[in-house]
Amino acid sequence: MESQVDQLKVIFLPFFLAPSHQIPMADTARLFAMHGVNVTIVTTSANALLFQKSIDRDANSGHQIKTHVLQFPSAQVGLPDDIENFNTATSLTDMVPKLFMGQSLLKKPIEQLFQEMQPDCIVSDIFHPWTVDSAAELGIPRLVFHVTSCFSFCAETCVVQYKPHLSVNSDTELFLLSGLLNKIEMTRLQIPDIPDEFNQIIILNKEAEQRSYGAILNSFYELEGAYEELHKSNTGIKTWTSVGPLLPNSVRAVMTLEQSLSISTLNKLSSLANKRARQAAMASANSTD
């Protein structure tokens, strides 16, 4: 283990509103800690429940990892307590705008945390574009975290750059996604209809990504290495995918336990079947006598 003086300090800032973004980032943060990095994951009270047990287990094992829990401003934005992400929202139409507002109100305390902790690097979700400026003020790198695959980014680039959907005459006619490594066809109906306000968010996110040091994608090279190289070529952004195993140790442990239990159950059933077969044979022999 590195000394406290030499140990890198990295803050991980997930997208609070989506567990599908938070859990992969937490697993990635745990991998950093396993390699000797001092890790802090910024989260909120209800969201911390998604991964706190894993973080505590790693910390008890000697890894320098912890969560910094912020109070989500539910009352300020008109939300009930413990509604802090899309999964817990009972009305998406009413609550999603309030959730986004609540997350935006956390920007100031998060910036204060950056100043207090003086990290060596910030790893933040794509939905926190403002952190590229925070990192620049501190003179440190910002890494963007994506939960999207390299292939999907390459497909998006094809649609945006070449606009093949404009070459067909109907919404159901197939068009080819030129520029990909495989023959992929789709229709206009398969292209998501993105609202203008959300499209503006995407543009801001991509502009901030271009100014960042690089990006971490929740994928691995053996799965889509060729598309990782194509994505790097398309964007010119440093990209890392192979940051850890396909399955976290906790998942593999559960699978091993389930496999062990299954084998044990099969052995018991086999033993019971053999016992019954012997009993049947003995009963048959006795009746013959």
Closest CA to 54 of 218, 242, 249: 249
Give me the helix-helix angle, 19-34 and 52-60, nearest 10°.
Answer: 10
Mean pLDDT confidence for 182-204? 88
Mean pLDDT confidence for 20-42? 95
pLDDT of residue 171: 94
pLDDT at 48 over 50: yes
The mean predicted confidence, pLDDT, of the chain is 87
pLDDT of residue 202: 87
pLDDT at 2 over 70: no
**9-162+193-248 is a CATH 3.40.50.2000 domain:** yes
Domains in the chain: boundaries:
9-162+193-248, 249-289
Closest CA to 126 of 137, 142, 113, 110: 142
**Structure token pair of residue 157:** 């680039």
pLDDT of residue 276: 65
Q: How far apart are CA 10 and CA 32, in angstroms?
A: 9
Q: Is the dihedral of CA 89, 215, 123, 37 positive or negative?
A: positive
Torsion angle (degrees, nearest 10) of CA 107, 22, 203, 230: 140
pLDDT of residue 117: 97
pLDDT at 279 over 90: no
Q: Please give the angle made by the CA atoms of 140, 143 and 145, to the nearest 5 degrees.
A: 155
pLDDT at 139 over 50: yes
Range of 132-146, 195-209, 260-274 with top mean pLDDT: 132-146
pLDDT of residue 88: 93
Q: Is the dihedral of CA 87, 91, 95, 100 positive or negative?
A: positive
Mean pLDDT confidence for 25-53? 95
pLDDT of residue 234: 92
Q: Are 9 and 118 in contact (CB under 8 A)?
A: yes
For 255, other C-beta atoms within 10 Å of its C-beta total 11
pLDDT of residue 257: 44
Catalytic residues, by residue number, are: 21, 125
**Structure token pair of residue 200:** 């503006």
pLDDT at 249 over 70: no
> Which residues touch 171 (CB under 8 Å, ≥6 apart)?
187, 188, 189
Higher per-residue pLDDT: 24 or 270: 24
User: Per residue in 145-186, pLDDT tens?
Assistant: 999 899 999 999 999 888 999 999 999 999 999 889 999 999
pLDDT at 254 over 50: no
pTM of the prediction?
0.81
Higher per-residue pLDDT: 203 or 260: 203
Mean pLDDT confidence for 52-74? 96
